[in-house]
Amino acid sequence: MHYYYDLHLHSCLSPCGSDEMTPANLAAMCALAGLEIVALTDHNTCGNCASFCRAAQAHGLTALAGMELCTQEEIHVVCLFPDPQRAEDFSREIARHLPPIANDPDYFGRQLRMDDGDGILGEESAFLAGSTDIPLYEVPRLVAAWGGAAFPAHIDRPAFSLLGVLGLWDPDLGFSAAELSYRCPPELARRPDLAGLQLLTNSDAHSLDQIWGAEHTLDLPEPTPQAVIRRLACQPGTLSG
């Protein structure tokens, strides 16, 4: 079965995420847009994932808890987990690898932790959008240790991307999927070094108006977080459909 997905969304816990991107608003907008499988992936934190998953499930959506991790090399990687508990455990581990910088809400924006009913639980004081000291090559193993799967984000963009930083796709890194931004020129997807990879396109929405209508589908045996993770964790060359 093919399911409409968006596996890269930010909430108001990302400093660059709009305050209107509460877990409740985000879930409602995803449902209105006709999406079926959605993931919350704030910068270097899973702090709003439990609230988002509850809100999204109330709309009948399949919801994954995730994070957009920034590596030592300033490469963004989307990490997805089978449940909010494991995502929060992973998030606590990542917090130890963030630079000791406080957020400046006036400059970077607020970082709000919210419940699933638009109540504010608190404001994160550590600056979340910096780079961790985790090297890119460690990410697949680290995420798999928490039962998750990971794919490099917006690889066609010049900044904060695998191709922008490394210049080429290295299959030895162990990623089986990669994300192309919606602005990606079609010829880039046909690069020989990307052959055999599962290429995803997500909105990377930071505000409600950036959430797309249902456009891209994922072929899965069942609409569950586990099925998404199993598919993205496949080795290159074994994917079909």
At its nearest, how many Å lie between Zn ion and the CB of residue 70? 8
Beta carbon of residue 159, minimum distance to Zn ion (angstroms, whole number): 9
Segment near Zn ion (CB under 5 A); pick from 94-102, 110-118, 148-156, 174-182: 148-156
How is 40-68 classified by DSSP, letter by letter? EEEET--TTHHHHHHHHHHTT-EEEEEEE
Phi/psi of residue 154, each to 5°? 30, 60
Return the structure tokens found at 209.
């108006």
Q: Does 157 bind Zn ion (CB under 5 A)?
A: no
- How many positions of this chain bind Zn ion (CB under 5 A)? 4
Q: How far is the CB of 45 from Zn ion (least distance, A)?
A: 12
76 binds Zn ion (CB under 5 A): yes
CA dist 82 and 12 (Å) reads 22
Candidates 65, 66, 45, 44; CA nearest to 54 is 65
Could you tell me the two tokens for 42?
Answer: 């704030």
**Residue among 36 and 204 whose Cβ is closer to Zn ion:** 204
Q: Does 156 bind Zn ion (CB under 5 A)?
A: no
Residue 68 within binding range of Zn ion, rule CB under 5 A: yes
Query: From the CB of residue 108, how many other CB atoms can be counted at a distance below 10 Å?
Result: 16
Give least dist CB 13 to Zn ion, A.
12
For binding to Zn ion (CB under 5 A), which residues are involved?
A: 68, 76, 153, 204
